[in-house]
Amino acid sequence: MALGRKTGGREKGTPNHSTAEIRSLATVHAAEAIERLADLMRNAENETTRLAAIRELLDRGYGRPALHADIKSHVDTPPRDYREMTDEELEAIIYEARAEREHERANASGKAWRSDH
């Protein structure tokens, strides 16, 4: 990017011709594909195949179900007030946070993280 502006590629709002072409070709076969899924749902000998066809039909007709995570945590002790911590405890927290951030950056850039940082 130059001066905070996008300098290459398509302009915003310009359709991707390859994607549009593939979508157009797929649309031609959509009705036949749905008919085949319905046939598999009703007549497949394998229960796994029938269930997969049912899932595909429902996903296309109603959308995929939302994913929900029920996360529960049990903490034996409440978090301590930072004003009650020693300088050494606070420095350890800062050091650990910096190491985690460095690790995340290294993973994001594809580099191996070294523990000697």
Residue at 3 is within a domain: no
Over its length of 117 residues, how does the chain's per-residue pLDDT go in tens digits?
Answer: 456 666 677 777 777 778 888 888 888 888 999 999 999 999 999 999 999 999 999 988 888 877 777 777 666 777 778 888 888 888 888 988 898 888 888 877 765 544 444
Side-chain-side CA neighbours of residue 89 (13 Å): 7
Specify whether 50 is located in the same domain as 87: no
Residue at 87 is within a domain: yes
Report how many domains make up the chain. 2
Residue at 11 is within a domain: no
Distance CA 110, CA 107 (A): 5
Residue at 97 is within a domain: yes
Give the pLDDT score at 117. 46
Give the pLDDT score at 64. 82
Q: Which DSSP state fits 2?
A: B
Distance CA 101, CA 113 (A): 11
The domain in which residue 38 lies consists of 17-62
